[in-house]
């Protein structure tokens, strides 16, 4: 998910662009683009990788106690 800070920043910047330009669509486009830049889907992959690693480590620990 998008973090709250990234979402809030993109909304604030989008509203600022809307106010400055007078065009709602331009503010929306800027807000969406900024959200995508701040979100970076690679974070999701990194999180999934670390979760898989934690599961593997937990499995190794359990096997040590099963002996």
Whether the model clears a pTM of 0.95, i.e. scores above it, the answer is no
In Å, what is the CA distance from 57 to each residue of 20, 35, 41? 53, 34, 25
Report pLDDT digits (tens) over 20-36: 999 888 988 998 888 88
Q: Which helix (H) or strand (E) holds 22?
A: none
Report pLDDT digits (tens) over 4-63: 777 888 889 989 998 999 988 898 899 888 888 877 666 666 777 777 777 777 776 655
């Amino acid at each position: 998910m998008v973090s709250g800070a990234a979402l809030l920043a993109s909304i604030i910047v989008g509203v600022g662009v809307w106010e400055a330009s007078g065009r709602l669509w331009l503010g929306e486009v800027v807000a969406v683009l900024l959200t995508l830049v701040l979100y970076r889907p690679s974070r999701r992959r990194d999180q999934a990788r670390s979760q898989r690693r934690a599961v593997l480590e937990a499995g190794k620990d359990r096997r040590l106690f099963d002996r």
